[in-house]
Amino acid sequence: MSEHQSSQNTKRSDRLTKIDQEHHLPTYKRFPVAFVSGQGCRLRDADGNEYLDALAGIAVTSLGHAHPKITEAINKQASRLLHVSNFFITEPQVKLEKRLTEASWMDHVFLSNSGTESFEGAVKLARKYASKRNRGGGIISMHNSFHGRTMAAMASAAAEKQEGFGPMPGGFKQIPFNDIEAFKNEVSDDIAAVVLEPVQGEGGIHVAQQDYLNEIHKICTKNNILLIFDEIQCGMGRTGNLFAKDHFGVQPDIITLAKALGNGVPVGAVLCNKEVSAAIDYGDHGTTFGGNPLASATALAVLDEMEKPGFMEEVRRKGDILKKHLLELQQKFDVITEVRGLGLMLGIEFSFEAKPLVEELLKKGLVANATAGNVLRLVPPLIISEQEINELMQILTDTLTEKINNS
């Protein structure tokens, strides 16, 4: 693929970038690329350059861009009804509630707008459940975890994420991931819940160990501590099962969802069992937009596609193909220290910072991103083809070759 971002082909993107820098709150270090359209696993920028998308909006557009069934569902619902408030029910919302609870083996669901809202809802559920049992409201989270950017989510994160935003909400503590002894040391009547990602996303694509999840589930059950799985990034088919929990055969008390649930339309969910939901009283929680007809209709269309026979098998198969190629690449380049992940949620750890590599990949027409400093995260649309996987690998191989030869 030809080099992108040439001086001749960046005029519109440059102009839009300048306007953005003048008016947008400077919270993102954006790349100077303005995307205007997409189709499947392809993106096109304002200057006509085409890109292969291996990021999917950070594991969001899992069915690709402009998917015909998703587009049809959005158009159809938008022409009927957008909003009525949660004083009433709508058919798409009721159908989505049923589909999600049945697919997850949960009993009840609260529909939200985003992942961080889902996390906040899960914390409230856990603390209300604990309070009715005269337990404390402590929440245990994991090192390298990420649950959002609202206050409770930040309180569950590392101290450097909290700097300048204090005082933080109390009752949160982090422990090492995949370390069962660290969790055992925190077990007490002061703890309401433990929250973890079965596959950590922002933390660098770290997969939970089977024995660890088995043991943490056992301890939680014995001590009446709720187990919360954050599947905001690793759920909705990303790992090759609709829910990441199903890889491990461990059923949590609460699951949080968002991202790919709406394929780009904002929608989230908090799923729980009946023991947890029994703790909630009318008025304890709510949302203006959560579960609105448009978001619910879109999520239903997403589920329709993901629950088709053979869909998840294909995700696992293509994930295996991509991981095999990456492991072969590791044998070729000693700067790759590890390849890890599940399904189409893969991380490549390097012996150097990954962001400059991401910038070079973007110039060659591949969209990916760096996380945890030295990890290249690959979370392409689940519909990626083998040909597109080969194209991805060729761009990555060429870019690494150039980088090493020029170092």
Catalytic residues, by residue number, are 146, 230, 259
Burial (0-12, 13-18, 19+ Cβ within 10 Å), 398: middle
Helix/strand/coil (H/E/C) assignment for every residue in 159-207: HHHHCCCCCCCCCEEEECCCCHHHHHCCCCCCEEEEEECCEECCCCCEE
What gap in Å lies between CA 126 and CA 269, rounded to an integer?
15
SS3 category, 388: helix
Strands of 226-230's sheet, edge to edge?
A: 108-112, 268-272, 254-257, 226-230, 191-196, 138-142, 172-175
Amino acid in the structure at residue 238: R
In whole angstroms, how far apart are CA 396 and each of 28, 321, 399? 25, 15, 5
Query: Which of 68, 275, 268 has its CA nearest to residue 148?
Result: 268
Amino acid in the structure at residue 66: A
SS3 category, 269: strand
Beta bridge partners of residue 376, listed in sequence order: 348, 370
